């Protein structure tokens, strides 16, 4: 927690920095200006704009498209030729088969204002280099080490829970997952910053989230949310800068941030004769900051939403909660879980899987094509935008039995083990962690974290929804609950 008085935030300077970050690109951005080709059918009109930008209907709009255009839907969105890919085959073909022939879409370009040019937002050679440098922090044996911290921090967090207490589970889980990412990857205690980061993130995601589709123009929209978002950028920037500074003072502690800083210190300026390809050179100051920011935000917001929706679904489905309790009680018998218990907790994992099926924290991904691609007999030109939506595909009755029902048992195979293949849906109908060369680097981290948190807390707690709460999804960058998740903690 900061004790010194910080200088006031200069919004004009913050806007300048944010716009410079948004404007940065590692590779030229192609435009689709083709007039000579046929485009597949799709929706048109102002409803599109309303859904995507001025309302919170975008996830439902993607569901509509998936139902009405089973393979491809074409539309123009803010001057961009856009194709929604609605069939598993088309998704696999473009995002895996042609993954390297794409770059991120407009929305992520907008998030550069805060994330800078880190692993999530960089492109081409720069992305490859970043991925190579960060990857060791996510090796299996590293994750096994993090599991102990995950459980310790969950047990410490549990001491703040009291029987009968009413809380907002969305912000409570954000505090917990922020603490976990801080300790495991950065050796930092971010618990004192949870409120500030949570508040700033809400300002960003809820305020500007819907404008991100405007890409580089997002921050030019003269809405009140812009001021709040800029103040939020500056506050989060300060926290991350402080974490890096404190870490430098501590020296190498063997964690993720030490690795990034070491990569920076190894960096040899390119004098033109370097034998290393660009992908091998280290980080500069700004890159350490961008990578740290990306991992802090991508690494805690998604798992916080996973846990939030999980608790809501358990409260709404008492039989599933019983099914879970039976497992954690039998396997753990009151002790804390460890990494070795993962395989013995198939129901716990199944509950998490079913929660991210219905409420995928990353609910849509866009890509801009860098070459022409053929899909279902149509040419999708270089420069066009493609969209895929987990929210739409994970809820599609075409691929899922009782698609809208919370049925965690579907993830248990005939041997009683958890299996992502158990539901038998085609590849491309289940992709909570994305696809191809840009697949989530934190996937195993996230499975481990969610399983450890749930197995720890569900042994003693059965949170209930506050009666009469109106829960609705809001498409921020992640899929959030609009007014938080009001719950009452109940001891089992
Ligand atoms: C349930 C939790 C999570 C979900 C649903 C999730 C989902 C995703 C998805 C869909 C992508 C691909 C984005 C795209 O293609 O544009 C992604 C990328 C990424 N995720 Fe996650 N994520 C989760 C947890 C985490 C965690 C725990 C971390 C780190 C500790 C993390 C770090 C990243 C990073 C750095 C990328 C960019 C990878 C790259 O482009 O090479 N994520 N995530």
Distance 442 CA to ligand 1 centre (A): 6
The average pLDDT across 380-400 equals: 97
Distance 376 CA to ligand 1 centre (A): 29
Within 5-123, residue ranges assigned H as helices are 11-23, 46-49, 58-68, 88-92, 106-115
Q: How confident is the model at residue 9 (pLDDT cuts 50, 70, 90)?
A: confident
User: Looking at the predicted structure, is the pLDDT value of residue 54 above 60?
Assistant: no
Instruction: Quote the mean pLDDT of the chain.
Output: 88
Report which of 362, 344, 365, 359 is spatially closest to residue 443, judged by C-alpha positions.
362
- What are the residues whose beta carbons fall under 8 Å from the beta carbon of 20, sequence distance 6 or more? none
CA 128 – CA 133 distance, rounded (Å): 9
Q: 132, 298, 355, 453: which to mutate for ligand 1, most atoms within 8 A of CB? A: 298
Whether residue 167 has its Cβ less than 6 Å from ligand 1: no
Whether residue 195 has its Cβ less than 6 Å from ligand 1: no
Going by alpha carbons, the residue nearest to atom 39 of ligand 1 is 438
Atom of ligand 1 nearest to the CA of 439: 12
**Chain position carrying tokens 């404190």:** 246
CA 46 – CA 100 distance, rounded (Å): 33
Distance 247 CA to ligand 1 centre (A): 24
The average pLDDT across 203-229 equals: 66
Atom of ligand 1 nearest to the CA of 390: 10
User: Looking at the predicted structure, is the pLDDT value of residue 319 above 80?
Assistant: yes
User: Looking at the predicted structure, is the pLDDT value of residue 52 above 90?
Assistant: no
Whether residue 365 has its Cβ less than 6 Å from ligand 1: yes
How far is the CA of 388 from the CAs of 69, 89, 163, 370, 398, in angstroms? 13, 12, 42, 17, 16
Determine the longest span between alpha carbons in the chain, in angstroms: 68
Q: How confident is the model at residue 281 (pLDDT cuts 50, 70, 90)?
A: low
User: Looking at the predicted structure, is the pLDDT value of residue 208 above 90?
Assistant: no
Number of H helices, E strands in the chain: 16, 12
The average pLDDT across 344-370 equals: 97
CA 316 – CA 432 distance, rounded (Å): 22
CATH 1.10.630.10 assigned to 11-267+278-488 = yes
Strands 385-388 and 80-85, by their bridges, are: parallel
Domain boundaries, the chain: 11-267+278-488
CA 445 – CA 144 distance, rounded (Å): 9
Task: State the pLDDT at residue 274.
Answer: 41
User: Looking at the predicted structure, is the pLDDT value of residue 204 above 80?
Assistant: no
Task: State the pLDDT at residue 239.
Answer: 87
Output helix, strand, coil percentages for the chain, rounded to the nearest 5: 55, 10, 35
For residues 338 and 73, is the Cβ–Cβ distance under 8 A?
Answer: no
User: Looking at the predicted structure, is the pLDDT value of residue 369 above 60?
Assistant: yes
User: Looking at the predicted structure, is the pLDDT value of residue 280 above 80?
Assistant: no
Going by alpha carbons, the residue nearest to atom 41 of ligand 1 is 438
Whether residue 294 has its Cβ less than 6 Å from ligand 1: yes
Task: State the pLDDT at residue 205.
Answer: 65
Output 318-326 pairs: Cβ under 8 A, ≥24 positions apart: 320/351, 320/406, 320/408, 321/458, 321/462, 323/347, 323/408, 323/409, 324/348, 324/351, 324/408, 324/454, 324/458, 325/458, 325/459, 325/462, 325/492
Per the DSSP assignment, residues forming a β-bridge with 59 are none
High-pLDDT (> 70) share of the chain, %: 89
- Does 115 or 319 have the greater pLDDT score? 319
Question: pLDDT digit string (tens) for 117-155?
Answer: 999 999 999 999 889 989 989 998 889 999 999 999 999
CA 294 – CA 111 distance, rounded (Å): 10
DSSP 390-437: HHHHHT-TTTSTTTTS--GGGGB-TTS-B-TTTT-PPTTS--TT--GG
Going by alpha carbons, the residue nearest to atom 19 of ligand 1 is 440
Strands 72-77 and 166-168, by their bridges, are: unpaired
Whether residue 111 has its Cβ less than 6 Å from ligand 1: no
CA 215 – CA 111 distance, rounded (Å): 8
Task: Give whichever of 181-185, 257-261, 295-299, 388-392 has the largest mean pLDDT.
Answer: 388-392
Distance 488 CA to ligand 1 centre (A): 30
Distance 440 CA to ligand 1 centre (A): 4
Task: State the pLDDT at residue 176.
Answer: 96
Task: State the pLDDT at residue 398.
Answer: 96
Atom of ligand 1 nearest to the CA of 108: 16
Question: pLDDT digit string (tens) for 227-276?
Answer: 777 887 788 888 889 889 888 888 888 788 888 888 766 654 443 444 44
């Amino acid at each position: 927690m900061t004790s010194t008085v910080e200088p006031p935030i200069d919004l004009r300077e913050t806007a300048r920095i944010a716009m410079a970050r948004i404007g940065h690109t590692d590779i030229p951005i192609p435009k689709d200006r083709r007039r000579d080709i046929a485009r597949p059918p799709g929706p048109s009109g102002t409803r599109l704009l309303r859904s995507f930008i001025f309302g919170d209907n975008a996830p439902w709009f993607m569901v509509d498209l998936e139902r009405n255009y089973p393979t491809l839907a074409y539309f123009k969105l803010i001057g961009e030729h856009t194709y929604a890919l609605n069939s598993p085959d088309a998704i696999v073909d473009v995002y895996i088969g042609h993954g390297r022939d794409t770059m991120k879409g407009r929305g992520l370009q907008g998030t550069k204002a805060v994330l800078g040019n880190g692993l999530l937002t960089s492109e081409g050679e720069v992305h490859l280099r970043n991925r190579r440098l960060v990857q060791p922090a996510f090796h299996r044996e590293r994750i096994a080490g993090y599991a102990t911290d995950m459980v310790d921090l969950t047990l410490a967090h549990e001491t703040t829970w009291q029987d009968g207490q009413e809380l907002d589970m969305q912000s409570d889980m954000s505090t917990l997952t922020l603490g976990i990412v801080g300790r495991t990857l950065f050796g930092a205690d971010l618990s004192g910053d949870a409120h500030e980061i949570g508040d700033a993130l809400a300002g960003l995601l809820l305020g500007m989230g819907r404008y991100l589709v405007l890409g580089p123009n997002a921050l030019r929209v003269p809405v009140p949310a812009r001021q709040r978002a800029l103040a939020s950028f500056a506050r989060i920037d300060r926290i991350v800068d402080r974490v890096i500074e404190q870490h430098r003072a501590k020296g190498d502690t063997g964690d993720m941030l030490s690795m990034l800083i070491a990569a920076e210190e190894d960096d040899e300026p390119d004098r033109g004769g370097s034998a290393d390809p660009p992908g091998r050179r280290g980080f500069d100051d700004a890159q350490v900051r961008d990578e740290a920011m990306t991992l802090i935000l991508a690494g805690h917001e998604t798992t916080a939403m996973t846990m939030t929706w999980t608790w809501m679904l358990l409260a709404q489905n008492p039989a599933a909660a019983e099914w879970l309790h039976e497992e954690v009680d039998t396997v753990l018998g009151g002790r804390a879980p460890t990494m070795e218990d993962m395989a013995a907790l198939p129901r716990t994992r199944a509950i998490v899987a079913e929660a991210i099926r219905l409420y995928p924290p990353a609910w849509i991904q866009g890509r801009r094509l860098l070459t022409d691609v053929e899909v279902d007999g149509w040419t999708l030109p270089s420069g066009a935008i493609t969209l895929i939506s987990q929210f739409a595909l994970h809820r599609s009755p075409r691929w899922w039995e009782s698609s809208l029902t919370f049925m965690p048992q579907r993830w248990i195979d005939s041997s009683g083990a958890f299996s992502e293949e158990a539901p038998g849906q085609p590849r491309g109908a289940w992709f909570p962690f994305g696809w191809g060369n840009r697949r989530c680097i934190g996937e195993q981290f996230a499975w481990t974290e969610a399983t450890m948190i749930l197995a720890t807390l569900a042994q003693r707690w059965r949170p209930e929804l506050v009666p009469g709460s109106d829960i609705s999804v809001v498409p921020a960058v992640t899929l959030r609950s609009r007014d938080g998740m009001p719950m009452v903690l109940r001891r089992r």
